[in-house]
Chains A and B, each alone.
Chain A
Amino acid sequence: MAVQVLIPTPLQKFTNDEASVSLEASSIDALIDALDGRFPGFKARLCDENGKLRRFLNIYVNSEDIRFLDNQSTPLSPGDEVSIVPAVAGG
């Protein structure tokens, strides 16, 4: 069983307009690489040149912000839901 990834509208141009994709990955870093493998160029949009998640993007695992978990090293289990969300919203 894979991990389900929710893709924000601005990144759906990489996923053929799919709002949700299913991938095998054991951590957030591995997931980002897997996304880039399936959708070339995806990682460069998510991360800066050092592989660090961009300041204006947040990632959630089962609704929890990865900054409350283990950031990009946060482990993933089959069936987890990962959501990529632009940070600038609300208020």
Chain B
Amino acid sequence: MTATLACSPTTGPTFTGLRCKECGHPYEAGARHVCEDVCFGPLEVVYDYEAIKARVSRATIEAGPASIWRYRDFLPIAGDPIDVGTGFTPLLKANNLAKRLGLKSLYIKNDGVNMPTLSFKDRVVSVALTRARELGFSTVSCASTGNLANSTAAIAAHAGLECCVFIPSDLELGKVLGTLIYNPTLMAVRGNYDQVNRLCSEVANTFGWGFVNINLRPYYSEGSKTLGYEVIEQLGWQLPDHIVAPLASGSLFTKIRKGFDEFIKVGLVDEKPVRFSGAQAEGCSPIAQAFAEGRDFITPVKPNTIAKSIAIGNPADGPYAIDIANRTGGQIAAVNDAEIIDGIKLLAETEGVFTETAGGTTIAVLKKLVEAGQINPEETTVAYITGNGLKTTEAVAPAIGEPYLIDAQLESFKQAWQQAQHAH
């Protein structure tokens, strides 16, 4: 067991504490995530936006490093960050996919090539482990559907922190291998993610560890705001008209919105309406179901989908995601596993981007919304791709054909080439 140190920096240059998102009750910025004195609502970081406004401009940000730390005044850290080059991933103008779908202006924010572990989770973990170190933790942990385990193990290795992570036992091999290589202690739990998450909350009660998505969650989740900032900056300091992002816990979705709102608040970008649409897999779609039924509360489900990275049946930020979709005129839709595989293939064939199942879900929902007339072809639309396809090869392996096996002879190639012409 590892206890926290007594001396913890509870403020930073631009943040002053924590506050309950529901009732507003204030707390010191320690390792805590719920409003324990009143309502158990989620805690959020409180910033001094006047201080941020005085410190940042487009020019200061542009002069910063090509990573999330160019936005460090908007992130809840007190000192120097753990910088593993996370963030500032490509925003790709997706002309081929746009043409295929009938859109005029489509972009892919490609966090499948984020550093160091090829998913957006590197953003949240970079922030969480920086804060974990500041709060005196020497062991860090998480409940993960795979990508988070990869990221926590990798960045903990770089930072010299002890690491014990928890995953469901049925994850894809790439996600398991991509964690074990960093030599953490890896617990594969017999059960689904929601059971893993519940177990981790119990472990967090008795082990003095920094769980990035439990007692460090207020800091961790702020890392996702950088996906909002980067898109604004990469669009030439403009907001898009519509974004589509995958929904697991709903946290990413709410933090992209917060990132947009903060840049508006400090005057870095002109305000305009942005529609927020969310993507779920039918086999785990508690947020889409609640949205469709006009509910503001989530009824949990038991996941059954190939999209394991977003298979959260009891999503913590589901109600907030629904609120954002409703307020912005967006949609929350679900697609089945076959559509998800088609989405992965469509993005790869049209744009050269190989995403995992969560990205396939996003592209499939994008397609579905366009076909339903819910995305205006004139809108500048950004689809968030959050993970890399090489981690979930099992999902697509049966659906992508095989190579032509030939001899090293011209005639053998010619025969195969003829076959290939017929096949295509």
B316 contact from A9, A68, A91, Cβ within 8 A:
A91
* B-side interface size class: 35 or more
Partner of B40 from A12, A57, A60, A63 at Cβ < 8 Å: A57
> Would you call B33 and A88 a contact (CB within 8 A)?
yes
The answer to whether B33 touches A89 (Cβ under 8 A) is yes
> A8 with B201: in contact, given A67-B299, A86-B34 (CB under 8 Å)?
yes
Question: Helix, strand, loop or mixed for chain B's interface?
Answer: loop
Set of chain A residues within 8 Å of B201, measured between Cβ atoms: 8, 85-86, 89
Q: Which single residue of chain A is at the shortest CB-CB distance from B43?
A: A88
Is A54 interfacial (CB 8 A cutoff)?
Answer: yes
Of A65, A88, A91, which one neighbours B34 at CB under 8 angstroms?
A88
The answer to whether the Cβ of A19 comes within 8 Å of any Cβ in the partner chain is yes
Q: Which residues of A contact B39 (CB under 8 A)?
A: 54, 56
Which residues 38-91 in A have Cβ within 8 Å of B in the complex? 54-58, 60, 63, 65, 67-68, 83, 85-91
Q: Determine whether the beta carbon of B250 is less than 8 Å from that of A91.
A: yes
A89 to B41, CA, bound (A): 11
Question: Can you show 28 pairs from A to B with CB atoms below 8 A apart?
Answer: A9-B205, A10-B32, A10-B36, A10-B40, A56-B22, A56-B39, A56-B41, A63-B195, A68-B302, A83-B202, A85-B198, A86-B33, A86-B201, A87-B40, A87-B314, A88-B33, A88-B41, A88-B316, A89-B200, A89-B213, A89-B214, A89-B316, A90-B197, A90-B214, A90-B312, A90-B316, A91-B213, A91-B316
A-B residue pairs, 5 tightest by C-beta: A91-B249, A10-B36, A56-B40, A90-B197, A88-B42
Query: A-side interface residues toward B, CB under 8 Å?
Result: 6-12, 19, 54-58, 60, 63, 65, 67-68, 83, 85-91
Residues on B facing A (Cβ under 8 Å): 22, 32-36, 39-42, 143, 191, 193-195, 197-198, 200-202, 204-206, 213-214, 217, 221, 248-252, 297, 299-300, 302, 312, 314-317
